Amino acid sequence: MNSSWPVLSTLIFFPLAASVLLVFIRRELAVRQVSLAVAFVQILLALPLLKFRLGYADFQFVELYSWIPHWNINYHIGIDGISFLMVLLTVLLLPFCVLCSWTYIGQRVKEFHICMLLMTAACIGVFVALDFVLFYIFWEVMLVPMFLLIAVWGGPEKKYASLKFFIYTLAGSTLLLVAIVAFYVAGGTFSIPELIAKDFSFRFQAWTFLAMALAFAIKVPMFPFHTWLPAAHVQAPTAGSVLLASVLLKMGTYGFIRFCLSMTPDASVYFAPLMIGISIASIIYGGLVALGQNDMKKLIAYSSVAHMGFVTLGIFVLNVRGLEGAVIQMINHGITTGALFMLVGAIYERSHSREIKDNMGIARFLPAYIFFFGLFSLSSLAFPGTNSFVGEALVLIGAFEHSLIIGLLAVPGALLAAAYMLRLLQKLAYGEPVVEKARQWKDLNFREWAYLLPLGVLVLYIGLAPTLALKTMTPSIEKVLGYIQASNDNITLEAEHQTSLAGLLEEKNLSLKE
């Protein structure tokens, strides 16, 4: 289905063009205003996407132009139900990011907003790319502005955190590139839909799955590749944290669904137990570490590890409920964690500290702030009626459907979430105020209301009426599971013949010797 107006390209290139425009603007205020305007225009430009046809599993809004014919590389973009939601999330968050940096960022304002717009463009590009090389290009381009966001506007440890972030994520990506090249040589094309339709041998799938899974697992991040995340989060400025948590981490899980499950279904089934194990480890580990944090940003960063563990768990239980839950959780985590980071940023602007002990007992002085903090905390711990409840419940149902033991193993993660979030909320709201200055802090101003209220509405909307979101993605998810199903029938036969990974390694060595 070719659309007449290239909606997706506009969404990618409009922020790019706007970032070039920003170069020529001198005054700081004007830069902020223009960025905000750009963010809202971006939302307007995304409106045509609402023509998205529900109940339709194929890619829509497809654009296809030849780019490097020799290698069969095309400029090929389009969206299905899953990427549609991701694009919406990215577009929606941009104005809030501009708003929450309004007073937080005081130096090199222009460059900051240029980086943010570049980030947005690259992130949208990742979610809509239907050509493997194009996908990889966006996937890598996004690192540069993010690196700069942390390295220039970050906290005291910014040098270490930004380098760690960059090297960690790029190291994973290089193997992804090898996998892409391998797919091209084996499949003769870089086109993602075509590659999905092809059948590869199990051995090939296993190796490419591992290469891709490593890249995505670092991005998500899954335990034990998560160490860059807390460092990056704690050092990044608020908007950087928001983009990082809400959009960047989703690329990893998106990659799992789009590439691992769709292109290497046999290997996905084969490695599912491993991935489920790592996911559960992420959930439990993230929760336990979050419980022990005294720095609010670190706490939320570790809670991200746990939440993303739920997402990967939902993906690899390989059933409809689990995947639906996973995609909903991707959206939810974007909204909720983004909002929590904004709230931490807001309190930091008042107290200049992110330590819990410096911000205790502020319910009396900042009632509106605590109201929002409470709302998003409840959402984070999956309280019924909030968005995360829907996602987490679906994931757990999926896990139980998969096997009783996995379901039981994942449940403590949900309890841990309640423990660390309520501990944070309780101290923040009703702890003994240590700082007398807290009396003079102003409650939320209009700007802060402007970015928290819409997010709060979204939390409740998805929590109370998730049908629309589910309707959007279910066809695409069923399609993905169709590949898994088809391979499941094969795999039962193959599994008996297939040796363990050690056997694979041996074969690999033999083939090299030949």
Partner 1 sequence: MVGLLSILFVQSISQRLKDKTEWVPYAAFAGAFIALFSFGQSDFMFYHSYKIDGLSQFFKFMIFLGLAICSANAIKNQSMGKANRADYFFFMFMSSFGLLLLSSTVELFTIYISLELASFSLYILLPLRNSDPRAVEGTIKYALFGAVATAIGLYGISYIIAGQHTTYIHALATMSWSFSEQPMALIGLGMFLLAFVYKLALFPFHFWAADVYQGASNETAAFAATLPKLGAIIVLVRLMAFNPGMEVKTMLAIFAALSMTIGNLAALNQRDIKRLLGYSSVSHAGFVMMGLVAGGSYGLAAASYYALVYMIMNLTIFWVITRLSDNGRNVYVNDLRGLYKSSPVLAFVLAVAAFALVGLPPTAGFTGKLFLLNSAWGEGFYWLVIVAAINTALAIYYYLNLVRHAYTLDQVVPAKINISPAGTSIAMALALGVLYLGLLPQNIFNLLLRAGNFLLY
Q: Does 133 bind partner 1 (CB under 8 A)?
A: yes
Q: Does 71 bind partner 1 (CB under 8 A)?
A: yes
Q: Does 64 bind partner 1 (CB under 8 A)?
A: no
Q: Does 216 bind partner 1 (CB under 8 A)?
A: no
Considering only the stretches 32-40, 143-151, 297-305, 419-427, report the one whose residues sit in contact with partner 1 under the rule CB under 8 A: 143-151
> Contact at 8 Å (CB) between 280 and 309?
yes
Q: Does 144 bind partner 1 (CB under 8 A)?
A: yes
Considering only the stretches 94-102, 156-164, 285-293, 295-303, report the one whose residues sit in contact with partner 1 under the rule CB under 8 A: 156-164
Instruction: Name which position in 175, 281, 291, 422 contacts partner 1 (CB under 8 A).
Output: 175
Distance in Å, CB of 258 to partner 1, minimum: 19
Q: Which long-range contacts (CB under 8 A, 24 or more apart) does 181-186 make?
A: 182/207, 182/208, 182/211, 183/132, 183/208, 183/263, 184/71, 184/72, 184/132
Distance in Å, CB of 12 to partner 1, minimum: 12
Nearer to partner 1, 151 or 435 (CB): 151
How far apart are the C-alpha atoms of 80 and 57, rounded to whole Å? 7
- Tokens representing 510 are 């033999």
Instruction: Name which position in 37, 181, 465, 501 contacts partner 1 (CB under 8 A).
Output: 181
> Contact at 8 Å (CB) between 411 and 396?
yes
Instruction: Name which position in 32, 113, 158, 307 contacts partner 1 (CB under 8 A).
Output: 158
Q: Does 365 bind partner 1 (CB under 8 A)?
A: no
CA quadruple 345, 12, 124, 20: dihedral sign: negative
3-class SS of residue 131: strand
How far apart are the C-alpha atoms of 328 and 473, rounded to whole Å? 9
Distance in Å, CB of 271 to partner 1, minimum: 19
Buried b / exposed e over 231-261, threshold 16 CB at 10 Å, is: bbbbbbbbbbbbbbbbbbbbbbbbbbbbbbb
Instruction: Name which position in 152, 320, 356, 411 contacts partner 1 (CB under 8 A).
Output: 152
Owner of token pair 């799992």: 256
Q: Does 26 bind partner 1 (CB under 8 A)?
A: no
Distance in Å, CB of 9 to partner 1, minimum: 14
Distance in Å, CB of 179 to partner 1, minimum: 10
Which residues fall within 8 angstroms of residue 191, CB to CB, at 6 or more apart? 72, 74, 76, 130, 131, 132
Q: Does 163 bind partner 1 (CB under 8 A)?
A: yes
Owner of token pair 């290089």: 174
Q: Does 449 bind partner 1 (CB under 8 A)?
A: no
3-class SS of residue 236: coil
Instruction: Name which position in 36, 57, 62, 178 contacts partner 1 (CB under 8 A).
Output: 178
> Contact at 8 Å (CB) between 341 and 354?
no
Nearer to partner 1, 126 or 346 (CB): 126
Instruction: Name which position in 17, 171, 197, 274 contacts partner 1 (CB under 8 A).
Output: 171
Distance in Å, CB of 185 to partner 1, minimum: 5
Q: Does 68 bind partner 1 (CB under 8 A)?
A: yes
3-class SS of residue 220: coil
Instruction: Name which position in 64, 182, 291, 464 contacts partner 1 (CB under 8 A).
Output: 182
- Tokens representing 173 are 């990506």
How far apart are the C-alpha atoms of 340 and 357, rounded to whole Å? 17
Distance in Å, CB of 109 to partner 1, minimum: 14
> Site residues (CB under 8 A) for partner 1?
67-71, 133, 136-138, 140-141, 143-144, 147-148, 151-152, 158-159, 162-163, 166-167, 170-171, 174-175, 177-178, 181-182, 184-185, 512
